[in-house]
Structure 1
Amino acid sequence: MSAATCFVIISNTVDDAFEDLVLGLRAFCPEADIAWYNSGTRRDTPFGLRRVSCDRPLKYMKITPCFFDIFEWSISQNYDQVINLETDMVFIRPGFLEFIAQQMKEVDYVAPGLRRNIPPVSLWPAYRTLSSERAELSAILGTDHLNRCFSPSQIFGRGYVSALLSSGNYARIRSFVERNQQPGRSWTLQELILPSLADSVGATSRPYPLRMATFNRYRPFQAPIDLEIAQTVSDAFFLHPVRRAGDDPVRRHARNLAHRALTESGQPAETN
């Protein structure tokens, strides 16, 4: 029996890039559920997606609370694994669900760019801006080190989520994360606290294969030459970041691939 998987799109808006992501998931990962976490103002759920929790406006670079809302929701929905996605991603081929199943064998958490033991002198923004909060977080986690990862496409298995939610420190962790919305608190906290929590709660983890890092990075934006290379790499399932403009050549090509795959499979080549 295949694992119950849900992709959760975290977005404060529904635009053409959002629609492209839904289209790509339906074309290339049709067995998985798709849900939306609305990190913006109230609006109806688009495209027949599932919905995580209620609408919750979050500040730029401070979206960490949404992950904990997602974890609590996913357990109530009995998912085996949830994967967070962003709308500057595009999918270009099938096989990602099989990749997830293979990677999640014997581990509870898989993260892009996972690295353990951040050096104390690190200038990485998520660590540097933590500064005054660092001692408090280390005390809550009960570890002598912190880890890091890259946020998009983390895979959270049931083991990770269950261990976190049942932790005796969960209330303290939740409170720390909620306070991150305040002015002056650290940026992109999720890229630090989520991989560190794996060690804290005893969840097993591994990084994505290093060869995939070029296709899922912070910058530069993916260009047509990157797309050409990705199409020769069997496990380059998606690209990130891709410009959100509808006429971006990488986005336009990915949209055409999704339309073609849906048409060939006899599914509607539209999101609505």
Structure 2
Amino acid sequence: MKDTTKRKICFAVLVHENKELIKQLILNINHYCPNSYVVLYNGGKNSNLCTDLNVPVCPTSKQLKYGNLAMYFVETMEWLEEIELEYDYFINIDSDALFFRKGFEEFIEEQMQDADYMAVKLRIPDKNWTCGKSFIKEKDTWKPFFSVSSFLGVFNVGQVMSKALVKEFVNYEKKVELKTALTETTVFGIEEIVFVNLANELGFKLKNYPEEVGQRLIRFRPYFTKSELIECIQLNEGWLVHPVKRKLNDPARNYIYDLQYGE
């Protein structure tokens, strides 16, 4: 497929283990999104995990606790502003996501023409949402930043933010207080709440991924199977899938690699 994009994506990839799979993910993104940048944030125990990968690594990377990944966003955004990387959209990707066909860059450029923020499952969550129940217990902490009476929720992976929104976050007048709150919070999955609500509070336009691309292909569980991927290709549906098992011999993962290297 001929590259027709005019905009550049910066994929911020959170990694924590298995260097070989990180290498494969970098190659996967480079192959299917050739007009994009890849940067890493090392959220694992091994400080040498990202050495010799020939990809920029956020210098403030630190081990993160599962359920609170928000500082990976904040520190990566700050660093990108410091190094003055030229990009148009910031997208977070976990290390268990993979592309299986080209076209995602064009999809993002089209979708983001009328928005500055896009996410999977953007909604006012119901009372049974695990992250929301955790958030309500701390709602007074977040009142200085955004509305807590009808707050929004999203699925973490694949949040898209325009560079204008990223700059607004980096220069946010309450950023010191916000970073303190993010560091001290016990809210599980705060990264699925804080950025969408801040974007909304700051007056930026939000939108949902189309359902057939978002909720079906970018989800918490179950892990993707080879048969599901074959169906997606037959239906000409989607570009990015999450989650794929972090195992070298996983059939779905190997099927994607066969597609990638067979092109």
Question: When the two structures are superposed, what TM-score results if normalisation uses the length of structure 2?
Answer: 0.90
- Alignment partner of 1:188 is 2:202: no
Name the structure 1 match of 2:134: 129
Question: How far is 1:11 from its partner?
Answer: 0.9
Greater RCO (Cα-Cα under 8 Å, separation 6 or more): 1
d(CA) in 2 for partners of 1:125 and 1:156?
24
Name the structure 2 match of 1:93: 101
SS where residue 35 of structure 2 aligns?
coil
1:91-240 correspondence to structure 2 within 5 Å: 91-115=99-123, 117-119=124-126, 122-142=127-147, 144-180=149-185, 185-212=186-213, 213-240=215-242
Runs of 4+ in 1 over 3 A off after TM superposition: none
Name the structure 2 match of 1:75: 81
Question: How far is 1:210 from its partner?
Answer: 0.7
Name the structure 2 match of 1:53: 59
RMSD: 1.8
Contact 2:154 2:192 in 1 (8 A): yes
More moved, 64-73 vs 168-177: 168-177
d(CA) in 2 for partners of 1:235 and 1:228?
10
Contact 1:8 1:84 in 2 (8 A): yes
Structure 1 or 2: larger strand share?
2
d(CA) in 2 for partners of 1:164 and 1:141?
13
Change (3 A) 1:18 1:114: same
The count of corresponding residues between Structure 1 and Structure 2 is: 254
Change (3 A) 1:156 1:195: same
1:243-258 correspondence to structure 2 within 5 Å: 243-258=245-260
Contact 2:61 2:72 in 1 (8 A): no
Question: How far is 1:7 from its partner?
Answer: 0.9
Q: Could you list the per-position Cα deviations for residues 188-215 of structure 1 after superposition, in whole angstroms to 9, with x for gaps in the alignment?
A: 1101111111111112111100112211
Question: When the two structures are superposed, what TM-score results if normalisation uses the length of structure 1?
Answer: 0.87
Question: How far is 1:143 from its partner?
Answer: 6.0
- Alignment partner of 1:38 is 2:46: no
Contact 1:89 1:241 in 2 (8 A): yes
Name the structure 2 match of 1:259: 261
Structure 2 residue ranges without an equivalent (≥5): none
Contact 1:95 1:235 in 2 (8 A): no
Contact 2:135 2:187 in 1 (8 A): yes
Identical columns (%): 23
Contact 1:23 1:258 in 2 (8 A): no
Contact 2:212 2:238 in 1 (8 A): no
Contact 2:116 2:206 in 1 (8 A): yes
Letter in 2 for 1:118: P
Question: How far is 1:98 from its partner?
Answer: 0.7
Letter in 2 for 1:169: K
SS where residue 11 of structure 2 aligns?
strand
Contact 2:125 2:152 in 1 (8 A): yes
Name the structure 2 match of 1:269: none
Contact 1:216 1:240 in 2 (8 A): yes
Structure 1 residue ranges without an equivalent (≥5): 262-272
Name the structure 2 match of 1:28: 32
Q: Could you list the per-position Cα deviations for residues 194-242 of structure 1 after superposition, in whole angstroms to 9, with x for gaps in the alignment?
A: 1111111112111100112211111111112211111124341021111
Letter in 2 for 1:13: E
d(CA) in 2 for partners of 1:145 and 1:19?
41
SS where residue 114 of structure 1 aligns?
strand
